[in-house]
Amino acid sequence: MLRTFIAIEIEDPAVLKKLIEVKNYIAGVGAGIKPVEDENIHLTLRFLGEISQHSVEEVKRILTELKSIKRFNIRVKGVGAFPSITRPRVIWAGITEGAEELKRIRSIIDKAIVEHGLRDIKPDEHQFVPHITLARVKSSHLFAKLSTLISELQDEDFGVTPVTTIKLKRSILTPRGPIYHDLFNVTLA
């Protein structure tokens, strides 16, 4: 079984640099914040979980079907939190332009998972909100300070980055954090 997800990486170096700077700024608030490692910053299109090698091969087929989708840009803008700004457990950078394209791709993937009968991939009960996770909050005593900081960053513009590739990635959990490996890439038209 492989722990997997489908992702888009941040291709523009200036956008990635700004995401890292803001992530590090947020992490400076306190010890109860676990920032995403620089090399792990990405946008998850679909978390698949622990799946069989058979399902991995089927997901590769599904992703190959996406190659006719035209490349597009996304604008990374704003900082927010799940479940809310007042109770921030996950701090993220939002997507403004390109969000509809991402939602359409996610919908195609979800439909194909069902059509291919991949029962080891659980349905995602949450509405898909395109975002880039910057940090996870482990300590509730930082909520007030973080809430103020997130409010200050809600209009932060990280810039525009192209979406040219969709990746199937493996996540290996370690005590120091996850390590990601590319399993398969599909280049958009």
Hey, which residues are catalytic here? 42, 131
Is residue 48 within a helix (H) or strand (E), and if so which, with residue range? Answer: strand 42-51
CA–CA gap between residue 41 and residue 54 (Å, rounded): 27
Is residue 89 within a helix (H) or strand (E), and if so which, with residue range? Answer: strand 88-95
Ramachandran angles phi, psi of 85, nearest 5°: -65, -30
Short-list 106, 126, 128, 18, CA closest to 62: 106
CA–CA gap between residue 39 and residue 96 (Å, rounded): 23
Unique residue bearing structure tokens 């109770």: 87
Q: Where are the alpha helices (DSSP H) in the chain?
A: 13-27, 53-64, 99-115, 143-152
User: Which residues lie closer than 8 Å to 147 by C-beta, 6 or more apart?
Assistant: 85, 86, 88
